[in-house]
Chains A and B, each alone.
Chain A
Amino acid sequence: MSAVQSTSPVPDDTRRRGPLAEVFYSLLRSRTFLVGLAIVLFWVACALFGEHFAPYDPLADDIINALAPPSSEHWFGTDQIGRDVFSRVIVGSRDILTVAPLATLLATVAGTALGLITGYFRGLVDDVVSRILEAFMAIPVVIVALLAIVALGTSKTTVIVVIGLSFAPIIARTVRSAVLAERELDYVAAAQLRHESALHTMFVEILPNVIPPILVETTVRLGYAIFAVATLSFMGFGIQPPSPDWGLSISNNYGMIGGGFWWTVLFDALAIASLVIGVNLAADGVHGALND
């Protein structure tokens, strides 16, 4: 009898892996995630090394060959001042893949901080901040951005800050509701019964437990950041010429599609579509893996 210890670990093999490892393995099993990741990595590679395998200089004009349809020489044709569309599409991911992730990062950091504070302190702080965030969320991001960019002038930094700050309330809302739920759990009371500081309780006790929803929200937001940057560029308030940015190129060329010059916009549109879908497939995979 004495050989039988009452304290042997639970003999269930699924519990041996740590929670993070489990998420990792379930990501590797998710086809959605892997496809999304492959698409994103493709465009990241283009952003980093695109100029080495683009056949032409994406900024070099060639007026004589302007608006040439796709051919063996120019796979995707040329635009209205004769720039090679294929080369531009390849290199065009660079700005959007800089601006969107930075905006997302800013949104995540600011949103997490706001969410932690409003969720943890509740009461008046929460009421006031939540009302302000709600007001923020009542207007579409594109319009907030428009307003801010008109007021502040256009630059990459402005776009990053504006998108970052307009997404922060959305992340804050997610974090806040997760924190509110965590706060009811007894480990928070246990921390108070050790006289832990509010900072310790927020960042050491609660934060690690709300990482999963933050991770999901961040990946989803990255998709929307790309959406927003592309849209702003299309409207002339985002990335500025002479960048070969996709949204900007569409903006410059869509006036001519009635004339049948479809190649000047279609490939840029498809590039944006693939990047956005790629990010969202990956986000969907992350969501699935964390909510199993």
Chain B
Amino acid sequence: MSLSLVTLFLLSIMVFLGGQVLPGNVGRAILGPFADQRAVDALNHTLGVDRPLLTQYWGWISNFVQGDMGTSYIFRSPVAPFVIDALGNSMKLAAVAFVLVVPIGILGGVVAALNLNRPLDRIISLGGLSVTVLPEFVTGIILILIFGVWLRWLPISAAWPRNAGFFTQLYYLILPSLPLFLVLFGYIARMARSGMIEALDSDYTRTAVLKGLPWRTVIWRHVLRNALLPTITVIATQTGYLIGGLVVIETLFRYQGIGSLIFTAARGKDFPMLESGILTIGIVYAVATLIADFLYSMLNPRIRLESDQ
């Protein structure tokens, strides 16, 4: 827990440095090279970027913690509502991808391990590796071409009509979630596969088999739990990649999520928006890691019991 806080603190410093210090003259950056110097100074003063760094950082972070994310340079209105809206949208997209990929990825890895070195394993492993390493915009483009342009089964934009119901929204989210699914599938399947292979080769599995337990019982009771523990950690760390992918996917599918928010802010040099967006992502990542640690220790008696003592 305290570890995540340290990480978040360091992240906030990095974001602050990247967003407010490195770009140099913010007013100049916003107004362009031909603006009047007085106008630039005035803007810098209004934005508060002419204050000492420490004061700026403290003001920024203490406001952020209280929910005040500052004022957008571009929209001239508070950042927070934008970020919260966008985060909600992104969560929907991510949830669809996650709900699909976790069970299917684990299943893929387990099936591959149980068919080690047979054709089915080769197909899942190499196929998984191949789709995992493709950039989301590449798979996105190809999927749009196939399902949106040629087959016309799915809408090529994720912007659903106003007042769309749950199922309509889901329908619009299928295509955008597929590239995310593909990127994560290979990871999760690969982890699950190697965890399974290790567990299958272990002495305790040998013990279970030599007890004369039916193969099904050996797998369900003895192998799976030990095999899938490491996979849980991986799934959590993958939220980071998932969010990275959101930036691209949301841009490609014109979806109003945190990714496209960051992208738009970056293009427009809207630093308060950019910083808040990135820090929000950091918090989501930290929370996901915490949940994973918690799950891992719940499932692993060795850790659970040691923390009791």
Q: Contact residues of A with B, CB < 8 Å?
A: 32, 131-132, 134-143, 146-152, 223-224, 227, 230-231, 234-237, 247, 250, 254, 257-258, 260, 262, 265-266, 269-270, 272-273, 276-277, 279-281, 284
Contact = CB atoms under 8 A, between A and B. Distances in A.
Contacts of B136: 231
A277 B18 contact: no
A273 B134 contact: yes
Given A139-B11, A150-B266, A257-B148, 19 more contacts: A132-B10, A134-B10, A137-B240, A138-B282, A140-B240, A140-B241, A140-B243, A147-B15, A147-B19, A150-B274, A227-B135, A234-B137, A235-B247, A235-B248, A247-B135, A269-B141, A277-B134, A281-B126, A284-B129
28 contacts: A131-B6, A134-B7, A136-B14, A138-B8, A138-B282, A138-B286, A139-B11, A139-B240, A140-B244, A143-B244, A143-B262, A146-B263, A147-B19, A150-B23, A151-B19, A227-B133, A227-B134, A230-B137, A234-B248, A235-B247, A257-B145, A258-B148, A260-B149, A262-B150, A266-B142, A272-B134, A277-B130, A279-B133
A262 B145 contact: yes
B38 interface: no
A59 B129 CA distance: 34
Contacts of B243: 140, 143
Contact of B248 (A138, A231, A258): A231
Interface in B136-183: 136-138, 141-142, 144-145, 148-150, 156
Contact of B244 (A141, A230, A234, A265): A141
B138 A139 contact: no
A143 B156 CA distance: 25
B292 to A, nearest CB: 13
- Grouping DSSP codes into helix (H, G, I), strand (E, B) and loop, the A interface class, with mixed when no group exceeds half, is helix
B285 A138 contact: yes
A151 B244 contact: no
A143 B11 CA distance: 12
B252 interface: yes
A138 B144 contact: no
B22 A146 contact: no
Nearest to A277: B130
A135 B263 CA distance: 21
Interface of B: 3, 6-8, 10-11, 14-15, 18-19, 22-23, 126, 129-130, 133-138, 141-142, 144-145, 148-150, 156, 240-241, 243-245, 247-248, 251-252, 262-263, 266-267, 269, 274, 278, 281-282, 285-286, 289
B286 A146 contact: no
Contacts of A284: 129
A235 B262 CA distance: 12
B193 to A, nearest CB: 13
A234 B240 contact: no
A287 to B, nearest CB: 10
A235 B142 contact: no
A135 B14 contact: yes
Given A140-B243, A143-B281, A262-B145, A131 B135 contact: no
From B134, B135, B142, name the one whose CB has the most chain A CB atoms within 10 angstroms: B135
A138 B19 contact: no
Contact of A139 (B142, B144, B281): B281
Contacts of A230: 135, 137-138
Contacts of A272: 134-135, 138
A258 B156 contact: yes
B18 A235 contact: no
Contacts of B22: 148, 151-152
Nearest to B7: A135
A184 B13 CA distance: 35
A266 B145 contact: yes
B107 to A, nearest CB: 22
Contact of B285 (A139, A234, A270, A277): A139
Given A131-B10, A135-B10, A269 B138 contact: yes
A271 to B, nearest CB: 9
Nearest to A141: B244
B194 to A, nearest CB: 11
Contacts of B133: 223-224, 227, 276-277, 279-280
A224 B243 CA distance: 16
A273 B135 CA distance: 8
A232 B88 CA distance: 25
Nearest to A253: B141
Contacts of A134: 7, 10
Contacts of A140: 240-241, 243-245, 247, 281
A257 B137 contact: no
Contacts of A141: 244
Given A134-B7, A227-B135, A257-B141, A142 B240 contact: no
A276 B133 CA distance: 7
A137 B150 CA distance: 39
A131 B266 CA distance: 27
Residue from A143, A224, A247 having most chain B Cβ neighbours under 10 A: A143
Contacts of B134: 227, 272-273, 276-277
A280 B274 CA distance: 33
Contacts of B251: 235
